[in-house]
Amino acid sequence: MSAAHTITLAFTGASGMPYGIRLLEILLAQGVHVYLLYSQVAQIVTQQEMKLTLPSRPQEAEAFFTNYFNAEKGLLKVFGREEWFAPVASGSNPADAMVICPCTMGTLSAVASGLNQKLIERAADVMLKEGRKLILVPREMPFSTIHLENMLRLARCGAIILPANPGFYHHPQSIQDIVDFVVARILDHLGVAHTLMPRWGEGSE
């Protein structure tokens, strides 16, 4: 599996921001170019769940995350919520893959319906129409019939629905281990190498 060179990563306002932040950390550590988008509600949830304040201005966000993760300069590019001239808004310059993590049911519904009112929705629409990989990571329970029908519709369009449902066969010892389980599965689908956890059948006596 060949790794994606440029990945669009979107944070929306669902619970589960530790998954998205950890995913961003690993992508940058692996030298992947990342286009980052996040909603206003995602900023609120990040503060609530992680006591982390995400800057509102794209340039400040780039500097913040680059310093926060001690990442190589130039790997991260952050775009505003309605920055329609961003590369992710056009099929002439799409990323290799896109992940929405965490993904709200509202965002999932908008993507399933082809709505493009915000840049996140438009970027996802571009991935579908260009036949690129789109991964959505919902963290919701229980799912309503509407949620399930929207997920089925997107799956039929080629999107990967990867709920934030961690396994426990690796005997997690911390919340970080649980987060890493889900992030590892996302990275596997992106073709990005990692050592977050042993694979099934490896490391056993």
Q: Is 104 annotated as a binding residue?
A: yes
What are the phi and psi torsion angles at 24 (to 5°)? -60, -45
Q: Is 74 annotated as a binding residue?
A: no
Q: Is 15 annotated as a binding residue?
A: yes
Position 7, amino acid: I
b/e for 105-119, b at 16 or more Cβ within 10 A?
A: bebbbbbbeeebebb
Q: Is 132 annotated as a binding residue?
A: no
3-class SS string, 104-116: CHHHHHHHHHCCC
Between CA 69 and CA 67 the distance in angstroms is: 5
On the question of a cis peptide bond just before residue 87, with omega within 30 degrees of 0, the verdict is no
Q: Is 31 annotated as a binding residue?
A: no
Q: Is 113 annotated as a binding residue?
A: no
Q: Is 8 annotated as a binding residue?
A: no
Q: Is the dihedral of CA 164, 168, 173, 177 positive or negative?
A: negative
User: Cβ atoms within 10 A of the Cβ of 162, count?
Assistant: 18
Q: Is 109 annotated as a binding residue?
A: no
Q: Is 106 annotated as a binding residue?
A: yes
Q: Is 53 annotated as a binding residue?
A: no
Reduced to 3 states (helix: H, G, I; strand: E, B; else coil), residue 100 is: strand
Q: Is 185 annotated as a binding residue?
A: yes
Answer yes or no: are the C-beta atoms of 39 and 121 closer than 8 Å: no
The binding site consists of 13-15, 39, 104-107, 139, 169, 185
Q: Which residues are annotated as a binding site for FMN?
A: 13-15, 39, 104-107, 139
Which amino acids are annotated as binding site for dimethylallyl phosphate, given as ranges? 169, 185
